[in-house]
């Protein structure tokens, strides 16, 4: 990923969102651009106009933490957006040093982790990396995401399913929000891992094959899944509302465990039990096992 371009577009998009009156400036008339002008932002952040213009062009040489925090405060960035700015700047500085791109090694899923997943018979559980590759899952998750799994022989990728498989728009009842979050999560991953060639290929594929993804990508929004409610429609058991929690895996910084559950006594809990009964005899291989078989 070109972090210089991402830095330029991110700063410009956040600057366009700040109205002058929100920054304590008069609104004025005859403005040709939305939001703050570059010189206004520079003055509010306490940096020179020429230096800020260089930064917004992707030249992050000499950008200290103090200056970046001042810019983040002026742009009224939230915690995630602030971290994203720092990742983009540091990635831009690394790219200036012409660090060669690398192909990240495939994550090795420990047998004990798969054993734990398989013991979670009442909760759909998935392990994904930052690229949204599904690297491990339990039988109930395979049953829940059977539409995703049936769409391709694997390896499976959640972002590719959301943006390219028409079935995702039926499965996710809030597909529009899910698609926006997916593109925003890829922005976070790209800033953290600008040398991930597989991630670059994925984003390029999605941008080439989906006009909708290009629009969502161009918004430069960022998002992290932490906890929430997932509303889905399963072809066998109908509508479900599932809460989800994300859990970090110590020693595996690029992997995240996603666990789903239903409110006890709810119709969604009944549907999930029915799905669990249906999935009990399933012996489909995990993504990691499938890869080993292909190798």
Tell me the per-residue pLDDT of 157-197, one tens digit each, with 9 for 90 and over.
Answer: 999 999 999 999 999 999 999 999 999 999 999 998 888 89
Residue 149 maps to a domain: yes
Contact (CB, 8 A) for 163 and 181:
no
3-state helix, strand, coil in the chain (%, to 5): 55, 15, 35
Tell me the CA distances in angstroms from 92 to 5, 62, 115, 193, 204, one per residue in order. Answer: 9, 11, 40, 11, 19
Same domain, 130 and 219: yes
Residue 238 maps to a domain: yes
- The domain boundary residue, chosen from 96, 119, 153: 96
Distance CA 209, CA 10 (A): 23
Residue 221 maps to a domain: yes
CA atoms within 13 A on the CB side of 37: 13
Same domain, 29 and 168: no
Same domain, 136 and 238: yes
Same domain, 74 and 166: no
Same domain, 56 and 118: no
Q: Is the pLDDT of residue 275 over 60?
A: yes
Same domain, 257 and 126: yes
Residue 144 maps to a domain: yes
Same domain, 240 and 165: yes
Distance CA 210, CA 158 (A): 15
Q: Is the pLDDT of residue 9 over 80?
A: yes
- The domain boundary residue, chosen from 40, 66, 96: 96
Q: What pLDDT does 107 receive?
A: 54
Nearest 5°: CA angle at 175, between 173 and 183?
Answer: 155
Same domain, 150 and 56: no
The CATH number of whichever domain residue 35 belongs to comes to 1.10.260.40
Confidence of residue 94 (pLDDT cuts 50, 70, 90): low
Same domain, 28 and 135: no
Dihedral over Cα of 145, 151, 157, 160: its sign? negative
pLDDT averaged over the chain? Answer: 87
Q: What pLDDT does 109 receive?
A: 76
Task: State the alpha helices, DSSP H only, in 120-166.
Answer: 139-144, 146-150, 158-164
Residue 101 maps to a domain: no
Helix (H, G, I), strand (E, B) or coil at 117: helix
Same domain, 79 and 128: no
Q: What pLDDT does 65 receive?
A: 93
Q: What pLDDT does 80 receive?
A: 96
**pLDDT tens readout for residues 39-56:** 999 999 999 999 999 999
- The domain boundary residue, chosen from 96, 120, 154: 96
Q: Could you tell me the residue range of the domain that residue 134 belongs to? A: 111-294
3-class SS string, 193-243? CCCEHHHHHHHHHHHHHCHHHHHHHHCCCCCCCCEEEEEEEECCCEEEEEE
Single pTM value for the model: 0.85
Total of domains in the chain? 2
Q: What pLDDT does 132 receive?
A: 94
Residue 283 maps to a domain: yes
Question: Look-up: residue for tokens 């930052």?
Answer: 130
Same domain, 79 and 176: no
Same domain, 45 and 182: no
The CATH number of whichever domain residue 288 belongs to comes to 3.30.450.180
Residue 103 maps to a domain: no
């Amino acid at each position: 990923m070109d972090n210089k371009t991402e830095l330029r577009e991110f700063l410009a998009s956040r600057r366009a969102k700040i109205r002058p009156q929100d920054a304590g400036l008069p609104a004025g008339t005859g403005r040709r651009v939305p939001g703050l002008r570059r010189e206004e932002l520079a003055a509010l952040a306490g940096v020179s106009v020429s230096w800020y213009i260089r930064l917004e062009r992707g030249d992050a040489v000499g950008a200290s933490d103090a200056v970046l925090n001042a810019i983040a405060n002026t742009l009224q960035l939230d915690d995630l957006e602030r971290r994203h700015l720092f990742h983009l700047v540091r990635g831009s500085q690394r790219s200036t040093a012409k660090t060669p791109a690398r192909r990240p090694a495939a994550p090795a899923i420990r047998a004990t982790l798969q054993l734990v997943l398989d013991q979670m018979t009442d909760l759909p559980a998935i392990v994904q990396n930052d690229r949204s590759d599904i690297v491990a899952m339990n039988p109930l998750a395979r049953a829940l995401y059977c539409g995703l799994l049936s769409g391709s022989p694997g390896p499976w990728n959640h972002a590719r399913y959301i943006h390219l498989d028409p079935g995702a728009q039926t499965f996710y009842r809030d597909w529009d929000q899910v698609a926006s979050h997916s593109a925003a999560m890829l922005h976070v991953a790209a800033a953290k891992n600008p040398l991930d060639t597989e991630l670059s290929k994925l984003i390029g594929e999605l941008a080439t094959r989906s006009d909708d993804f290009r629009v969502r990508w161009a918004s430069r929004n960022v998002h992290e899944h932490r906890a929430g409610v997932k509303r889905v429609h399963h072809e066998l058991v109908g509508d479900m509302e599932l809460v989800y929690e994300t859990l970090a895996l110590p020693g595996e910084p690029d992997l995240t465990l996603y666990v789903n559950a239903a409110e006890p006594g709810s119709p969604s809990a009944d549907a999930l039990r029915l799905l669990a009964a249906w999935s009990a005899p399933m012996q489909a291989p995990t993504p990691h096992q499938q890869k080993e078989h292909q190798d």
